[in-house]
Amino acid sequence: MVRAKNARRKRDSNYENIEAVVKLKRYSYADVKKMTNSFAHVLGKGGYGTVYKGKLPDSSGQEIALKILKDPKENGEDFINELASMSIASHVNIVSLFGFCYEGSKRAIIYEFMPNGSLDKFISEDVSTKMDCKALYNIAVGVARGLDYLHNSCVSKIVHFDIKPQNILLDEDLCPKISDFGLAKLCKKNDSIISMLDARDRWLHCS
């Protein structure tokens, strides 16, 4: 009985934390199922969960990508980190966030759909799709601008900790957008040095 009460108190605390730090539209799990047509179209799978294609449940019918996070037994720290980081970031080279779901163990992040997927499929030796040097250069510059924004111009300095081709999404014009902020760290604007031990610990946690 005591253990159940403690678990419920901890869960309620997580709910309060999310409401306090994330100013985004919150959806129910029933909404999530409706948006994805009961998870009919899988876009990809990664270390943090599965991404599905869907549409917003409003009159716009805008296409979205919806990530269902796995490991619901975790305390939600990575989930809150990602929501907090992405909700304060607004830049052409950062993926836009539309909302989230936090209903018991059900957690989802809803963001803009990127029709060209992630960068890794364009640079893999197993894929015939190739980019010319100019396109790759423009992508590299776009990613650099996104990182510069996160480090120097965002409301709070954000260190991503997990930049890789799989986390660079491309829109219809091949404009790159940084995504997947699960390991991101929010820092004070005047912090000039981030501990490399912190970076190593976060990388080990991800591995």
Q: Please tell me the pTM assigned to this model.
A: 0.74
pLDDT, one tens digit per residue, over 140-192 is: 999 999 988 888 887 777 777 778 888 899 999 999 999 876 555 555 545 44
Provide the sign of the torsion angle of the four alpha carbons 20, 160, 50, 141, taken in this order. Answer: positive
User: Do 53 and 79 lie in a common domain?
Assistant: yes
User: Do 189 and 154 lie in a common domain?
Assistant: yes
User: Do 59 and 149 lie in a common domain?
Assistant: no
Asked if pLDDT for residue 18 goes beyond 70, the answer is: no
pLDDT at 55: 94
Domain span at residue 103 reads 2-112
Query: Strand ranges (DSSP E) for the chain?
Result: 25-26, 42-46, 49-55, 63-69, 97-103, 106-112, 157-159, 168-170, 176-178, 185-187
- CA-CA distance, 163 to 94, in Å (whole number)? 12
User: Do 135 and 85 lie in a common domain?
Assistant: no
User: Do 198 and 101 lie in a common domain?
Assistant: no
Asked if pLDDT for residue 70 goes beyond 50, the answer is: yes
pLDDT at 73: 57
User: Do 101 and 137 lie in a common domain?
Assistant: no
| Annotation says 162 is catalytic | yes
User: Do 37 and 105 lie in a common domain?
Assistant: yes
Q: Which two tokens stand for residue 191?
A: 């912090």
- Number of domains composing the chain: 2
Residue 7's CATH number: 3.30.200.20
Q: How far is CA 77 from CA 119, 124, 136, 197, in A?
A: 27, 32, 34, 19
User: Do 30 and 65 lie in a common domain?
Assistant: yes
pLDDT, one tens digit per residue, over 89-142 is: 889 999 998 889 988 888 898 999 999 999 988 887 555 556 788 998 999 999
Among 66, 86, 112, where does a domain finish?
A: 112
Q: Is 121 helix (H, G, I), strand (E, B) or coil?
A: helix
Q: Between these two residues, 201 and 31, which has the higher pLDDT value?
A: 31
User: Do 8 and 87 lie in a common domain?
Assistant: yes
The one catalytic residue in 58, 162, 180, 191 is 162
Residue 136's CATH number: 1.10.510.10
Average pLDDT over residues 31-41: 95
67 annotated ligand-binding residue? yes
Asked if pLDDT for residue 25 goes beyond 60, the answer is: yes
CB 149 within 8 Å of CB 91 = yes
